[in-house]
Every structure is written in C-alpha cells, then in structure tokens.
Amino acid sequence: MEEFSTAAQVIVTVDASGTPACNPHVLPVNGSDAVLKFVLQTAGYVFPTDGAVVVNSASEQFPFPSRTLLNGTWATLYDRNTAAGTFNYSIFVKNATTGEIGRVDPTIQNDL
C-alpha cells in the first residue's frame, strides 16, 4: 500500500463522548497543488463517504469535494494554494455503529 507523506496532514481523533479533535488545529499549507490528508485514528468511527471535509465558504482554492478513502479512515482535499489566506473548514466523522455524526471546525492557512 502507498504511504502518504506527513506534509499537510491532519490526525483526527474522537473522544469517549463522540467529540472529534484534530491535530494540528491550524493546518499550514506551503506550495501549490497540495493534497491535504486527513487520517482518522479512532476505532469505531469513519469519515462519511461524501462531505468528510468541507471548506465553509466558496473558494477557488478548493475546487473539488473531499474524497474518502481506505475504508473511511482517510480523506483527502485538493488545495490549489495559489492565494495566501485563512480558510475555515469542517471535518465530519460518523460513529460506525450508531451513525451519529460529529464535527470539528479547524482552519487551513495557505502560505505561498
């Protein structure tokens, strides 16, 4: 299986109450055409098939929806990163047993 680099990667965990958290909370992105990677590390949770990672305001920096991969434990988001700026986004996780959705709202910091 292909290994993804740790550049532009977010680790997502879910606590016992079902509240997700991410590290880093502010994701710095350097270089154009970045593929942002989100890794879910809590057993019993998956990323939804559609809309796992959603940028909160329309931006040409993020022209495509996120993709969920590897049985729901990875998600990716393409970032053109052709303009510096701060972008709020949401990460959604789903309890694989109950279907309950959790959400965390971190930030992407595009640095050229």
Average pLDDT over residues 55-78: 94
Q: Where are the domains of the chain?
A: 9-111
- 21 CB-near residues (< 8 Å, 6+ apart): 12, 13, 14, 15, 104
Model confidence, pTM: 0.91
Comparison of pLDDT for 54 and 3, the residue scoring more: 54
Give the pLDDT of residue 71.
93
Distance CA 90, CA 82 (A): 21
Give the pLDDT of residue 57.
87
pLDDT tens per residue, range 28-63: 999 999 999 999 999 999 999 999 999 998 789 999
Q: Residue 21 class from Cβ within 10 Å (0-12 exposed, 13-18 middle, 19+ buried)?
A: middle
**Residue type at 40 in one-letter notation:** L
Mean pLDDT, rounded, of the chain: 92
9-111: in CATH 2.60.40.420: yes
Q: Is the pLDDT assigned to residue 66 strictly greater than 60? A: yes
The answer to whether the Cα torsion of 97, 101, 103, 109 is positive or negative is positive
Question: Which token pair is 5?
Answer: 């680099």
Average pLDDT over residues 85-100: 97
pLDDT-derived band at 74 (thresholds 50, 70, 90) equals: very high
pLDDT-derived band at 82 (thresholds 50, 70, 90) equals: very high
Q: What percent of the chain has pLDDT over 90?
A: 88
Tokens 């965390």 belong to residue: 104
| Cα-based distances in Å from 9 to 16, 36, 42, 48 | 23, 6, 16, 18
- 49 CB-near residues (< 8 Å, 6+ apart): 68, 72
